[in-house]
Amino acid sequence: MPISKLLKIMSELRDPNNGCPWDLEQTFETIAPYTLEEAYEVREAITNSDYAGLKDELGDLLLQIVFHSQIAEESDIFNFDNVVDGICNKMVERHPHVFGNAKIDTADAQLSSWEAIKAKEREKKLDGKPDTLSALDGVSVAYPALLKAEKLQKRAARVGFDWSDTEQVFGKLDEEIDELKEVLNTSSDRSLLEEELGDILFTCVNIARHLKLDPETALHKANRKFTKRFQFIEKSLKEELNIKPENADFSDLENRWEKAKLIEY
């Protein structure tokens, strides 16, 4: 099977006698950044509808899992089969409507069931001390800030701490913007400015959640759109005036930005 082939390749790369010097030097810590990088590249391929690229990126991500598993096996911590068994058991336990007798008819009901099961799993890890369990437990400190904000909000919402409609969140955004403006007008304290800006970003994530949109994907697309428009400005300045943006009038840059927007449609 292909997975057996990949496991064998990884084992040979880590062979102490004949393996690859670079692969042999790696640890969980040194490989972790590459794992994150590959996950982001999977996301980029999906956003770009690049399905041939997605196939390749998924392979790269799978290699990361195999790499971590090989390192763990060498230290008798766990192996790849343990990883697969663990996720298989978890999927069966978290889908009682598919693999058991539970009745779940909608995606929203499944999400509620999923979170309830995960909460019970977290309780087990507390050795019978559920009173110390927070609804926010299990939200990784290693998440990117945007993702962590969304996860925290979803956890709080599941126990009733949430705005009832999107308009209320827009009102909160207006409030947070006013607070930032107030700090700008009355203080030069960067920590206060940072705090108020953080509140605005956190509220923007809340808006995305209420609209059932992924904020990371939305921002990724905004970045891509900005890049495309700005590169149009650079190209048109080069072709028409043989200058760079820093040598152009700001009004000219704005006009070219508007032209770039029109070309998109």
pLDDT tens digits for range 5-41: 999 999 999 999 999 999 999 999 999 999 999 998 9
What is the average pLDDT value for the chain, to the nearest integer? 91
Query: How many other C-beta atoms are found inside a 10 Å radius of the C-beta of residue 67?
Result: 19
pLDDT above 70: percentage of residues in the chain: 96
Q: If pLDDT is split at 50, 70 and 90, which confidence band does 126 have?
A: low
Out of 178, 197, 213, pick the residue that ends a domain: 213
Out of 60, 93, 126, pick the residue that ends a domain: 93
Mention every residue, 6+ apart, whose C-beta is less than 8 A from residue 163.
169, 172, 206, 210
Q: For position 25, what pLDDT does the model report?
A: 97
- 237 and 193: one domain? no
Q: For position 265, what pLDDT does the model report?
A: 57
In a domain, residue 102? The reply is no
Give the integer Cα–Cα distance in Å for 78 and 38.
Answer: 22
Decide: residue 43, CB within 10 A, 0-12 exposed, 13-18 middle, 19+ buried.
middle
In a domain, residue 259? The reply is yes
- 162 and 223: one domain? no
**HSE toward the beta carbon, residue 172, CA cutoff 13 A:** 18
Q: For residue 81, what are the domain limits?
A: 2-93
Query: Which CATH number goes with the domain that contains 155?
Result: 1.10.287.1080
Query: How many other C-beta atoms are found inside a 10 Å radius of the C-beta of residue 70?
Result: 19
Q: For position 127, what pLDDT does the model report?
A: 62
Segment 165-224, tens digit of pLDDT? 999 999 999 999 999 999 999 988 899 999 999 999 999 999 999 999 999 889 988 998
Using the predicted structure, report yes or no on whether residue 72 has a pLDDT greater than 80.
yes
Segment 86-107, tens digit of pLDDT? 999 999 988 988 898 888 888 7
- 51 and 30: one domain? yes
In a domain, residue 125? The reply is no
- 56 and 33: one domain? yes
Among the residue ranges 33-37, 62-66, 111-115, 190-194, the one predicted with the least confidence is 111-115
Question: b/e per residue, 76-89, with b = 16+ CB within 10 A?
Answer: eeeebeeeeeeeee
Q: For position 128, what pLDDT does the model report?
A: 55
Using the predicted structure, report yes or no on whether residue 123 has a pLDDT greater than 90.
no
Amino acid at 260: A
- 72 and 38: one domain? yes
Out of 179, 195, 213, pick the residue that ends a domain: 213
- 184 and 256: one domain? no
Give the integer Cα–Cα distance in Å for 153 and 176.
Answer: 17
In a domain, residue 116? The reply is no
To the question of pTM greater than 0.85 for the whole model, the response is: no
Query: Total structural domains in the chain?
Result: 3
Among candidate residues 31, 21, 11, the one with its CA nearest the CA of residue 74: 11
In a domain, residue 226? The reply is yes
- 83 and 138: one domain? no
